[in-house]
């Protein structure tokens, strides 16, 4: 076991680590609310990938089990020490709270997809259904091996952690493609992305700081899901920010309900943001206005005014 790094005061380092940990917990936890609020305001999940939502729930279920076991199970903690030269794992209380909170919010977002408006054909794709089945089936096999003593419980947890890591990469791809197909990020909250980016940077910073203070870099290899999760979050967040702020700058929401129509109190007019001009938008969402009473379409999808 290597001695602690004396170049950094240990008490100060631990305090800084805790502060960073809770900061990324707040940023990542808060990142789930903008999408929930946006869905509620629009009364629609159009523009949001259903594949992403299902994968998110599965991923955070695995991540919650992983963190809960590493933090609370004495047996798992001992198995970790035996594999890592007596070192303790680096799962913290904020990791546990974040994972469980994320699971709850992801599940609630999934619930919203059943009560709010979807586009035609907006459902879970067959490849994702197959992936979920294979993943769950594999987890059942590893669980059976752990129960029968053929493997240790930590092996099951590492399997779940790799599922989470893999899902963290795959789950964003459908949303990236949906934004590309629609040439729009309407329905996908950018505030979610900005908070997620902040959390990813802070998560990696805490992991590196903990390893530096303890002079034990095996903590990073021993908790690959945390490091990989932070890195992938940063990578995809940069992609989404590029889509939102550079590539697809239109903010016209074809699906906005009348409650989101902008009111002009001075002249009694209502101005509705209507159909984006890009030709791929309708083909991607397969949606038409229910009637001319709901929306008044203008040539090219420009802003229209209707007096009341």
Q: Which residue has the higher pLDDT, 31 or 90?
A: 31
Higher pLDDT, 268 or 219: 219
Average pLDDT, the chain: 79
Once rounded to an integer, what is the mean pLDDT over residues 31-44? Answer: 94
Quick: pLDDT tens for 141-174: 999 998 998 888 999 999 998 898 888 878 999 9
Q: In 3D, which of 96, 99, 102 has the Cα closest to residue 31?
A: 102
User: What 8-state DSSP symbol labels residue 84?
Assistant: T
Q: What tens digit of pLDDT does each residue of 77-87 get?
A: 888 888 887 88
pLDDT band at 127 (very low <50, low <70, confident <90, very high): very high
Whether the pLDDT of residue 193 is over 70: the answer is yes
Among all chains, which residue has been given the structure tokens 């709850």?
104
């Amino acid at each position: 076991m290597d001695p602690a790094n004396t170049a950094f005061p240990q008490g100060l380092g631990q305090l800084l680590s805790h502060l960073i940990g809770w900061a990324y917990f707040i940023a990542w936890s808060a990142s789930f609310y903008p999408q929930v609020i946006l869905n509620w305001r629009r009364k629609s999940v159009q523009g949001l990938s259903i594949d992403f939502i299902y994968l998110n729930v599965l991923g955070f279920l695995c991540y919650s089990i992983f963190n809960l076991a590493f933090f609370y199970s004495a047996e798992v903690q001992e198995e970790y020490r035996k594999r890592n030269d007596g070192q303790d794992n680096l799962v913290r209380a904020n990791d546990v709270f974040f994972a469980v909170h994320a699971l709850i919010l992801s599940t609630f977002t999934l619930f919203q997809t059943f009560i709010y408006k979807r586009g035609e054909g907006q459902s879970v794709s067959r490849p994702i259904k197959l992936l979920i089945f294979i993943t769950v089936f594999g987890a059942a096999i590893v669980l059976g091996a752990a129960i029968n003593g053929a493997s240790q419980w930590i092996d099951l947890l590492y399997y779940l952690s790799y599922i989470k890591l893999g899902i963290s990469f795959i789950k964003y791809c459908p949303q990236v493609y949906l934004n590309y197909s629609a040439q729009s990020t309407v329905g996908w909250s950018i505030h979610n992305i900005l908070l997620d980016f902040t959390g990813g940077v802070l998560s990696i910073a805490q992991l590196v700081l903990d390893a530096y203070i303890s002079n034990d870099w095996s903590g990073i290899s021993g908790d690959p899901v945390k490091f990989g999760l932070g890195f992938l979050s940063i990578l995809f967040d940069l992609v989404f920010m590029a889509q939102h702020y550079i590539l697809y700058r239109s903010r016209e929401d074809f699906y906005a309900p009348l409650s989101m129509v902008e009111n002009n109190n001075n002249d009694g007019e209502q101005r509705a943001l209507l159909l984006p001009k890009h030709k791929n938008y309708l083909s991607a969402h397969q949606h038409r206005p229910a009637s001319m009473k709901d929306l008044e379409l203008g040539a090219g999808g420009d802003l229209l005014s209707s007096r009341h």
